[in-house]
Structure 1
Amino acid sequence: MSETTADIAPKKPARSDESLKSLTKVSRVLDCFSTSRRALSLAEICSETGFPRSTTHRLLAAMREVGFVEQERERDTYRLGLRLFELGSVVLANLELNREGRAIVDALHRLTGRAVHLAVFDGLRAVVIQRTEAEPMLSTTMVENSPAHCTSVGKAILAYQAEEIVDRVMAAGLERYTETTITDPAALTAELTQTRTRGYAVDNGEHQPGLRCVGAPIRNQSGLVFAALSVSAPAWQTPVTEVDELSQVVVYHANLISQRLGYTR
């Protein structure tokens, strides 16, 4: 009996989603940690992720093996490992925004004498990847999460996002940091509309008391806003009457970065 082509053709192994599921679980464990939650117990991670204790313990053991987490045996808690810092440094070094923005961040700092922040949007928060302090210095590479709803970089980015993304940020909670933090969704919607109209965002002590910040959006080659640039100073050094003039300088430098990334109007 002759064999048909279908009979002799090699069969492809059934695709398994186990690897993808494992990666998703690892990501959920990593998301449990933050700057305010630096060390977590096994029970806390189980509670946060909803994973069974045995599954969580197995994941943490594997993550510890590759350096993604470190275990403090005295307290029986876990912290993020240095391997993640090493990988993050590689990401930053290869990030075009980081390379193209560095000189402009330094130039804006020298021109204004104020602290400067360069941030990228991760879908929920503004991740600061470069900053200078008010004292004369070159920009430093670092990573720091900032809330999108109450910082000038965050609002400058959020104002240009699709409605479903804005809704997701609101659903995550508009945490109050100061007396002036916008915590009402309707008020935030109005603030973002105003930001789009004038082309820049203002943080009037909404994240840190007494600090006024002005931020402007940065666009990629396709024209999508994915990052922002800001200057910050104590409110007494940046009175409301000077915000409009300062915003023009910030917008100009943000546009320079957009142009270096390939954006053309």
Structure 2
Amino acid sequence: MSIAQKNNSVEKAFAILSVFSQNGGKFEFGVGEISKILKMHKATVHRFLRSLEKIGIIEKNSETGKYRLGLKLYELGNSVSLKKIMVDRARKYLEDLHWYLNETVHFATLKNGEVAYLDKIIADRNFVIISEVGKRLPAHCTGLGKAMLAFLPEKDVKRIIKEKGLKKFTKNTITNRKKFFEELKRIRERGYAIDNEEIEDGLRCIAAPVFNGEGKVIAAVSISGPSSRINEEVYDEYSKYVIKTAKLISEELKNIDWGMLGCMS
């Protein structure tokens, strides 16, 4: 193959990769879609995708038959955000959870001992929740935070409490260390956490942890809504949906090391 031909191949491969970052946030594409966007023959697109798939630059979703960016890009120092890839992969499960329960859904991780919100789907109901994507909130009084803290090593939880404290936000906020560790034990036993109006009066959340392939907690998913709708009568039913969603996301993210992002601390 001549140098000119090699350069042409590189240009085509780069053009295909560019499709994934320049089309309105969509992250999966079929051969036909890419062919249409680039005005490139389907056979050519398919050949390049297969080659990129072999080296981990592109991955094929076995369920949809479409292609998406692979994690190898991150390893190579590419500018593709690993965090974005993970949020994209969790999104469909978050949407399903939102569809089932019609409550606000959150996806978050821990950053420097605080809950860092990665994604949010707002319920089609008139109830304002203070969370925002990119915003951080205390871990000890949020369902997401407690769901993650419960599965961290005890020494890490003690360090976070020492650094951040157990600040009181409402009459229900747990501010006693002994009671807080008892709460974390209950969360581990039942598999989910509840924010019982602990950061905001009238707001309750049900959250479950997300794990990587090594069994390390890396994130959490939750539903949030008014205490009039999310109460003891629905805890058992709603928690099953939240836990199932968390398990599906865990499976989707099992080969990702969130430690590379410095998210967990």
Q: Report how far residue 147 of structure 1 moved.
A: 1.1
Q: Which amino acid aligns with 1:106?
A: E
Q: Does 1:125 align with 2:114?
A: yes
The correspondence of residues 35-114 of structure 1 with structure 2, limited to 5 A, is 94-114=83-103
Alignment partner of 1:244 is 2:254: no
1:225 deviates by: 0.5
Question: Match of 2:135?
Answer: 144
Indicate conservation of the 8 Å contact 1:157/1:228, yes or no: yes
Structure whose CA Rg is larger: 1
Kindly report the root-mean-square deviation, in angstroms, between the aligned alpha carbons of the 2 structures: 2.0
Question: Which string of whole-angstrom CA distances, capped at 9 and with x for unpartnered residues, describes residues 79-105 of structure 1?
Answer: xxxxxxxxxxx7766444212111111
- How many residues are paired up? 171
Q: Which amino acid aligns with 1:124?
A: G
Q: Which residue of 1 aligns with 2:246?
A: 254
Once the two structures are superposed, residues 128-175 of structure 1 have per-residue CA deviations (whole angstroms, 9 ceiling, x without a partner) of 110111228xxx992111211111100000000011111012112111
Instruction: Specify the code of the residue in structure 2 equivalent to 1:254.
Output: A
Distance 1:234 1:94, change over 3 A: closer
**1: CA distance between counterparts of 2:181 and 2:229?**
28
Counterpart secondary structure, 2:133: strand
User: Whole-Å Cα distance in 1 between the matches of residues 113 and 179 of structure 2?
Assistant: 18
1:134 aligns with 2:123: yes
| Mapped partners of 2:194, 2:123: distance in 1 | 18
Identity of aligned residues (%): 35
Partner of 1:142, secondary structure, is coil
- Would the alpha carbon gap of residues 201 and 94 (structure 1) be closer, same or farther in structure 2, given more than 3 Å must change? closer
Q: What's 1:221 paired with?
A: 213
Residue 147 of structure 2 corresponds to 156
Distance across 2 between alignment mates of 1:94 and 1:261: 11
- Runs of 4 or more, structure 1, over 2 Å off, are 90-97
For the residue of structure 2 that corresponds to 1:143, the secondary structure is coil
Aligned counterparts of 1:97 and 1:224: Cα–Cα separation in 2: 16
Contact 1:218 1:227 in 2 (8 A): yes
- Looking at both structures, which has the greater relative contact order when contacts are Cα pairs under 8 Å and sequence separation is at least 6? 2
Residue range with higher mean Cα deviation, 142-151 or 182-191: 142-151
Structure 1 residues 186 and 91: alpha-carbon distance in aligned structure 2, compared to 1, 3 A threshold: farther
2:107 aligned with 1:115, yes or no? no
Tell me the TM-score normalised to structure 1 length: 0.61
